[in-house]
Structure 1
Amino acid sequence: MDQFRSFDQLRTGELSVIRHGFFRPWFELTDGQFSYGKFSYANLWKTSSILAAAHNTWIIKRKGVFSRSLLIHDTNDMEIGTITPELWSPKIMLSMNDGFEAVYLKKKVFTRTFTLTNTQYGDMMNFKTELLGFKTPFKVSVDLNQLKNVPNLPLLALLGINLILLKQERAAASAGVGG
């Protein structure tokens, strides 16, 4: 995975997410000069996805056919975390096996910003959806002070992209858009 630059070398607080492809899209996390990670679907049915960064690759799978929870696996197929959307709430809980817990949420009702927050570190990242942004659908704002504190920052950034895309797919499905 030497094609990606390490998050330790990140010098800017704002990253762009660039969409590549149309029928089988994949998304690149970049600062305009260097690539820091990649999000892609593992299969055509989008039941699992692959998150790749400089030193790690993670696989996100559904816990079961009717489950809303997602499992995070490393390349050795070891479960390292769980993502659970709260019932009747826009919050999405992230629980890692190393004890790290965070919440992905929208802080305001009519906003395009999705925030990753933690009780210890506060607001760690913001994911802003761009209006009519087909090629560049998101901007990710990272708190550079968190680079030394949080070891899985690339995973958290790519996971946020994955969760926003899942929310958009569910909203389109419930509205009857896209067949």
Structure 2
Amino acid sequence: MLTLALYTINNMEYYRSFDQLRVTELPVLRHGFWRPWYELTDGQFSYGKLTYSGAMKRSCLLETATGSWVVKRKGWLSRKFIIEQPGGTEIGMVTPEIWSRKILAELNDGFSANFFNKKLLSRTFTWVNEQYGDMLSVQAKAFSRSRPFVVHIDTGVVNTLPHLPLLALLGINLILFKQAEAAAAT
């Protein structure tokens, strides 16, 4: 676990901060075939990375310039996900609601947001908060393997919301999880 923390601290210099973001759209690039990892980029700079590890991709490492987080299931049969820092400190919980499209993310500092698609057959999922409104949306691209997602960010909340990098990568992870569930159900 210590090597993971040292690795992420050294790699945090590689990413550009969301404060320096000048565009409203960030495509997500998929790298690799057997063990894919995803990069949030604007074509010139990298803003974050999402990688999977463990047996059956049970944990996900989210890395940005402001920090890194590990997202994993609370238990083998649990619907809930735990958000941890690489040292093992739990900082939040992600809970999909039963019989609903909404997924609630609650952080220990009191921040909470819902992640859902506003239209029934839409491929665009949005993070919504009571205070900030629509913060960012993640659009899944159909039939695009190398660029499967595009993240649309409201530039008005970039400097006011410190959790924006976490929400962007967490949204991609949740869509990938929903896609894997749908593929397993068929």
TM class by smaller structure: over 0.9
Match for 2:42 among 20, 28, 31? 31
Q: Which has the higher helix share?
A: 2
- String of CA shifts for 1:117-160, please: whole Å, max 9, x gaps: 00110000111111111000000000111112111111000000
Q: Tell me, in whole angstroms, the C-alpha distance in 2 between the residues paired with 1:129 and 1:55.
A: 25
Structure 2 unmatched runs, 5+: 1-11
Percent identity between the two aligned chains: 53
**C-alpha displacement at 1:81, in angstroms?**
0.4
Q: Would you say 1:115 and 2:126 are equivalent positions?
A: yes
Alignment-mate amino acid for residue 171 of structure 1: A
Residue 66 (structure 1) aligns with:
77
CA distance, structure 2, for counterparts of residue 52 and residue 25 of structure 1: 15
- Give the drift of 1:65: 1.0
Question: Which region of structure 1 is more displaced relative to structure 2, 163-172 or 35-44?
Answer: 35-44
- Aligned positions, number: 175
Aligned to 1:79: 90
Residue 173 (structure 1) aligned with residue 184 (structure 2): yes
User: Which of 126, 134, 139 is the aligned partner of 2:150?
Assistant: 139
Q: Which runs of 4+ in 1 moved over 3 A?
A: none
CA distance in 2, matches of 1:30, 1:44: 28
**TM-score normalized by the length of structure 1:** 0.96
* Aligned partners of 1:24 and 1:44 also within 8 Å: no
Q: C-alpha root-mean-square deviation of aligned residues, in Å?
A: 0.7
The answer to whether the Cα contact below 8 Å between 1:116 and 1:125 also exists between their aligned partners in 2 is: yes
1:144 alignment partner, SS class: coil
Structure 2: distance between partners of 1:29 and 1:44: 24
